[in-house]
Structure 1
Amino acid sequence: MSWERSQQANVDPDQPGADYIDPDSLDTVLTRAAAPVLDAMAREIDNEPVSLILTDASGTVLRRRLGDAGLAAALDSVHLAPGFRYAESNVGTNGIGTSLEVGAPLLIRGDEHYNGRLRRFSCAGAPVTHPVTGALLGAVDLTTLAENSNALLLSFAKMVAQRIREQILEEAGELDRALLRDYHLACQHTGRPVIAIGEEVLMINQLTQRVFDSRDQAAIIDHTRDSRGRTEQFTLLADLPSGVTARLSYRPTFVDDRLAGGIVHVREQVDRRRTRPRARVRAPVLRSVAGTSATWTRTVEEMIDACTRNEWLVADGEPGAGRSALVRAVHDHVRNGRILVSVDATASSAQSVLEQVVTAVDEGSDLLLRQIHHLDGEDIDAIGDLLLDVCSNSATDGPWVAITLHASDGPADTHPLLRMFPKTVTVPPLRHHVEDLPELSRFLLDTMEAGRLVLSPAAVNQLARLSWPGNVTHLKSVLEKICRRRRSGTIELEDLPAECRSTTRRRLTKLESLERDAVVEALALHNGDKATAAKALGMSRATIYRKVREYGIEYRARSVRSRGRP
C-alpha cells in the first residue's frame, strides 16, 4: 500500500527527492520537550551504529543525534539530515514518512524501502502526538544500516516517543499551573472580570459571565485571542456589541523564559447604567462602506467627527481592513463637493507621488496619502515640507488630509510628518466585527452585480467562524471566486472555496494550503465520502481523517436537492 502511494506521488525510485525546508521556528512545544529526552537517549546509543532523529509533522528533520559518527556521511548522502523533508510523498516508503502517513509506529527494513538508495538502511519510526489535544506533532526515527536491523529498533523508537509525550505533559502541566496561579491571584485581588489564555487554555471568571452578556463575552474572547503568544504587556479598547467599551489589559505569565500564557483584566470604560439596555446603534449611512455593529459605528463616528472639524488624521489598521475606503466614504459624506485626491506610493514612482501631492496642494484639494512608508526618508521629508506649508497657511476651511498606516508598516509610523496629524482612528479588523459580515457580504455582492446571489445561513455562520487575515479585501476575493462560478441562487456551505471550509487559526504554509485545498476539493467531488476521497488523493483513510481534523475542514454532504443549480 505504501509503495502504491509512492508510485501515485511520482516518487523517484532511484534518487531520494527530499526537499530542503527552512523551518519557521525551531522553538516549539515538540523541540522543547524533546531536547532533554534526546540528550538522555543519545547517551544510550553512544558508540552504536544508529542515529536518533526527530521530525515535525510534515516529516522535516529537526534534530539528528548519532551514536556512531561514521554513519553521518551515509545519512548525508541521502539527505537524511536537519532541514530535509522525509515525507512519504517525497522519498517513498520510509520509517519517518510512512509512520506519519499511517499514524502508527512501524519498522521499515532495507528492501522494504521504495527508493533504491534507501535500501541500505533500516529505520523505525514512531509518531509523537500531543498528550492533551491528540494533535500530531512529529515523529521519532531510529536509522541504522540494514545489516544491523532488529526488532529492538521499533521498541526503542516507541519508548522515545512516549517519553517525549510525558515531557510535553509535564511541561504543559507546569505552564498551566503557573497560569492558573496568576489567574486565581488576579480573581482574588482585582475584583474585576478576568480571563486567562494559554496555548490550550481559556478561563473566564464568573464575574465576566455576570457582567457581560453572551454576545459581549464572545467579542471579548475574540479580542483576547489576538494576545495569544504575546510576550509583552499591552492594553487595548474593545467596542462591544452592546455599545459598552471595554479596556483589556494583558500581562504575560512566564515559567523561567517559557511563556505560559497571559492574564487579561477587563474593565468597562462607560457607565453601564446609561448604556444598558441600549438600542443597537446604527452608523451614519455611507454610500461605499457597510456595517452597523457597535465597533464599526464608533469608528465611523470618530472619523466623521475628525473630518467635520477638518482635523487631519491617521487611519490606522491592518491591511485590507478598509482604511482607504472608509476615508473616501466619510469624505463624500462630510465634504461633498470637494475633490479628494488619493495618492498611492506603491502605484507609481517616488517622483510621480511628489508631483501628485504638489498638484493637489496647489489646487487646494483634499488629500489621502496611502502606503507612504514605501518611500525613502528624503521623499517623506519633502511631503512633510509641502504639508507643513499647507498647515501653516490654511484657513479653517482649508484642505483635509488623511494618511493610512499600520503599526507594522515601518519607519513612517514614527516620522515627524505625523506630528501634523493630531487624530488617529483605528479601523478594526474584520474578525473584530464579524456581526457586520452578512451586511458587508450583501454590499460586496451588489458591487459585483451579483444581486441575485444570496448566502445561506450555514454559509454565513461558516464565514463568521474564520479569522480573515486579509480582512475585507480577503472577503471580497472569496466572494469574487464564488461569483466566477455562479451569478444567482443560494450560496451553500459546499459552494464556499476550500480555504473557507477550514477553521484552523494557525497560519498555514503555502504547501499546507495546497494540501488543505486538495482535501476539500476531493471531499466535494466525492460527496463527502472520506474513503473514496482518500483513495483519489493517494492517501490512507487514517490520513484524510487526520487532515480533516488538523485543518478544521467543514464539509456537509450535498443532498439530492442541493445538487441542482437554480
Structure 2
Amino acid sequence: MTQRQGDAAPLEARGGSAPRLRASWQRSARYGVPDDEVKPVFTGSVDTSSLLYECGREVLQGLQATLANEPVSLMLTDSEGLVLSRMCGDTDITRSLDRVHLAPGFYFAERNAGTNGLGLALADRAPSLVRAADHYCTSLRGYTCAAVPVLDPLSGGLAGSVNLTTWSEQSSELLLALAQTAAGHTSALMLARASGRRPRQVPRGEVFRMYADQVDPPRLSAGWEHPLVEVLDAMRRGQTVLVTGEPGTGKTALAAMARRELRPRERLLNARSPGQDDVAAWLTVWAPELGKERTCVIVSGVDSLPAWAASELAHRFSTAHREAAVAPFVLTAVDPGALPEPLVAHVDTAIEVPPLRFRPDDVLPLARHFAHRVRGREVTFTAAAARALAAYDWPENVKQLRRVVREAAARSEVVDVPHLPAEVFTNAGHRLSRLQAMERDEIVRCLAQPGATVVGAAAELGMGRATIYRKMTQYGIKARQLRS
C-alpha cells in the first residue's frame, strides 16, 4: 500500500496493531473508498426486534448512565456494519457524528467508510481501537473509536459490534475496556434470553452499486437461462421489465446479468425497498440517479412499496424513460399481483425466475461458485455432501444456499457432511424454536459421525431408541444422507 504523506507515523506508533491497520487501509483502497469523506450507504430500515438489538440496547443504556456527562457516543451495529442504535448525551459530538453519517440506518463497514473502529472490529473479529489519524478517511480523524465484536452465544457466529466513539483529543485508555465489557455483557444477556427466540427479518432499504464480480454466476440450467434470455430480449426491444419470483431466487442478479450483457459499461445501481416508515429517506438517497447518462437502477421489492411512494416513482420513471432509448430501470417483485397501481402502466412484461427447488441442476454449480468466492480457489465437495445439497428443498432459495456454503467453505477446502448445517438434512415443515433447533443439531451431529448408528446416537444423547426415532421423524432428519 502507498500511504499518504504524514500517515506512516501514526501507524508505526501503534506497535502490534500497525499490521492490522495497514491491512485495513489496503482493503479500503481496494474497495475504492474516498480518502477525504465518507460516502453514506443508507438503509431505510433497522431490525429493532432482533435479540442483539434488545440485549445490546439494554446494556448500552446502563453504560450510558455512568457516562452521562462524558462526550462518548455508544453504538450498536449488526454484523455488516449497519448502525442499529446510538446513544449520547453530548449534543456537540452527536451533531458531529451526524455530519459523517455515523448514525442509525447507515452502514459503516470498511467497504463504506474505510478504516474505522467498528469496521476493523467486524473485519478482523477482534477488539479494535482506531485513533485520529489511523482512520482512512480524513473526515473521521477528529474521533477515536473503540469497537468490539459481539458473538452469537449459541452459534459462535458474528452478531454485530459495540462501538464507543469520542473526540480524538480525549483520553482513550479506558474506551476499549468499556467496549469489551459491554460486548461481553450483551453476548451473555443474549444467551440468557435465547430460548425459543427467532429474530424477525425486516426489509432493509439498501442502495449500492453492483459490479461485474457480484453478478457473475457459473453456467446454469435452462431453468435460469430461459428467463435470462427473455429479460435480455425484452430490454433490447426497449421494454420495461418486472422480474418476479420467490424471495432469494436471484431476481436482482438475473436482471443485472441481462443488463451487463446489454450495456457492459453502464453504471448499475440496486435499490432494495425498506420498511414502511423509511421509504422517504430511501427515495432521497437514490431517486436522483434515475435518468442519469449510462445509469440503470434495479429497484427491488416494488410490490412492498406504499401507494404514495409508488406514485412518486411512477412520476420519476415517466421523466427518465422519455429521455432514454432503453428503459433506465428494472423492477423486481415477489408477487406481481400486488404491484402498486401507479407502477402497473410502467411494466411492459413480467418474467418469473423459478425457485431453486425447481432447478436442482443449479445447486452444485452455485455451491462451487460461492465456495470459490470464499476461498479464492476451487473447493471440493464430497459425494455425500453433494447428494445432501442436491436433495434439499432450499425453502429460502439461493440466498440460503449461499449462506450454507459460505459457512462450510470457511471451515474446510474439502466440504463433507460434518461441515454442513443440520437444516440441510432435515425437513421439519415448520419453524423450530431455538431449543428445538439445538436438539435437532445435536441429533444430526451424532448421526453424522463416522460409523454412527441410531442406537449409538441414542446412547450418546441419553435418549431411548424409540425417542430418537420419534425425534428424527419430528424434525424430518434424513439419516441416509448423513452417511459419507
Q: TM-score, normalised by structure 2?
A: 0.51
Contact persistence 2:299–2:332 (CA under 8 A): yes
- CA deviations on 1:101-128 (whole Å, 9 max, x unpaired) are xxxxxxxxxxxxxxxxxxxxxxxxxxxx
SS of corresponding position for 2:331: strand
Structure 2 unaligned residues grouped into runs of 5+? 1-212
Deviation, 1:370, is 1.3
2:278 pairs with one of 349, 352, 362: 349
Does 2:428 correspond to 1:509? no
2:306 counterpart residue number = 376
Contact 1:527 / 1:557 at 8 angstroms: preserved in 2?
A: no
CA contact 2:291–2:328 (8 Å) conserved in 1:
no
Letter paired with 2:401: L
> Separation in 2 of the partners of 1:450 and 1:547?
39
Q: 1:288 corresponds to which residue? A: 216
Does 2:455 match 1:531?
yes
- Displacement of 1:478 in angstroms is 0.7
The residue identity in structure 2 corresponding to 1:521 is R
Q: Is this contact kept in 1: 2:303–2:334, CA < 8 A?
A: no
Matches within 5 A, 1:183-202: none
Change (3 A) 1:380 1:291: same
Quick one: structure 1 residues 452 and 298, their matched pair in 2 at CA, closer, same or farther if it must change by over 3 Å?
closer
| Counterpart AA for 1:299 | P
Aligned partner letter, 2:310: I
Gap change, CA 1:534 and 1:505, over 3 Å in 2: closer
Q: 1:396 aligns with which of 321, 325, 346?
A: 325
Q: 1:457 to 1:533 in 2, by over 3 A?
A: closer
Q: Is the 8 A contact 2:375 2:410 kept in 1?
A: no
Quote the residue 2:346 is aligned against: 420
Find the partner of 2:289 among 360, 371, 375. 360
Distance 1:517 1:418 in 2: 46
Q: Answer whether contact 1:466 1:500 (CA < 8 A) is retained.
A: yes
TM-score under structure 1 normalisation? 0.44
Contact 2:382 2:416 in 1 (8 A): yes
Q: Any conservation in 2 of the 1:343–1:356 contact (CA below 8 Å)?
A: no
Instruction: For 2:296 and 2:286, locate their aligned partners in 1 and report how far apart those are by CA, in whole Å.
Output: 10
Aligned pair 1:492/2:421, yes or no? no
1:481 pairs with 2:481? no
Q: 2:449, 2:384 → 1: CA distance?
A: 20
Cα distance change, pair 358–463 in 1 and its aligned pair in 2 (3 A): closer
CA–CA distance in structure 2, aligned partners of residues 358 and 500 of structure 1: 40
- Give 1:420 deviation, angstroms: 0.8
Kindly tell me: are residues 329 and 380 of structure 1, through their superposed partners in 2, closer, same or farther at Cα, counting changes over 3 Å?
same
Superposed displacement of residue 556, structure 1: 6.0
Partner Cα distance (1:557, 1:309) in 2: 47
Work out the CA distance in 1 between the residues paired with 2:303 and 2:474.
38
- Measure how far apart 1:377 and its partner are: 1.8
Aligned residues: 269
Cα displacement (A) at 1:505: 6.6
Question: 1:131 maps to what in 2?
Answer: none
Distance 2:396 2:217 in 1: 17
Post-superposition offset of 1:314 = 0.6
Larger Rg: 1
| SS of 1:349 mapped into structure 2 | helix
Contact 1:437/1:464 (8 A) holds in 2: yes
Report the Cα distance in structure 2 between the residues aligned to 1:468 and 1:518, rounded to whole angstroms.
21
2:267 & 2:462 partners in 1: Cα distance?
A: 59
* Overall identity of the aligned pairs, in %: 26
2:389 to 441, 446, 463: 463
The secondary structure found in structure 1 opposite 2:446 is helix
> Could you say what secondary structure the match of 1:288 adopts?
coil
- The higher relative CO (CA closer than 8 Å, separation ≥ 6) is in 2
- Aligned residue for 2:407, secondary structure, equals helix
CA distance in 2, matches of 1:499, 1:395: 47
Q: Distance in 1 between matches of 2:214 and 2:436?
A: 40
> For residues 325 and 494 of structure 1, do their structure 2 counterparts lie closer, same or farther at Cα, with a shift above 3 Å needed?
same
| Native 8 Å contact 1:368 1:402 kept in 2 | yes
